[in-house]
Amino acid sequence: MILVLLVLLRAIIGSTLIDRLISINALTSKISVIILLVAFLRDDFGIIDVAFVFMLCAFVGGLGVLKVVTHDDWKLKVSKLENPANDRKETN
């Protein structure tokens, strides 16, 4: 529970958008684990299905967010990063 709050703090103060995406991912994994533990604590094992649906919804939502925040083509342009000479040396 405390870890969920800490990761949420990272999601709030995260300097870039990718940081927020990473912390939302960590949040969903922790929350699905908490749902599994609640299913065992209350002896109500139908709650495991809730964990399935939560994981799948988080995955599809994350895919949608990634699709929105990137450009329309998914080609890597590594030459935009620094040290392009190093890259050329590797390929030759």
Partner 1 sequence: MFKIIAYICFVGSVAFFGLGTLGLFKFPDPYTRMHAVGMGDTLGVGLIGLGLLLLSTTWILRLKLIIALSLFWLINPTMTHLTAKAALIRGIQPVKNTEIRRG
Task: Provide the binding-site residues for partner 1, judged by CB under 8 A.
Answer: 3, 6-7, 10, 16-19, 21-23, 25-26, 29-30, 32-33, 36-37, 40, 45, 48-49, 51-52, 55-56, 58-59, 62-63, 66, 69-71, 74-78, 80-83, 86-87, 90-91
- State how far the Cα of 69 lies from the Cα of 89, in Å rounded to an integer: 32
Kindly report the backbone phi and psi dihedral angles of residue 44, in degrees, each rounded to the nearest multiple of 5, phi listed first. Answer: -120, 90
Name the minimum Å distance from CB 39 to partner 1.
9
Q: How far apart are the first and last CA of the chain?
A: 51
Name the minimum Å distance from CB 47 to partner 1.
11
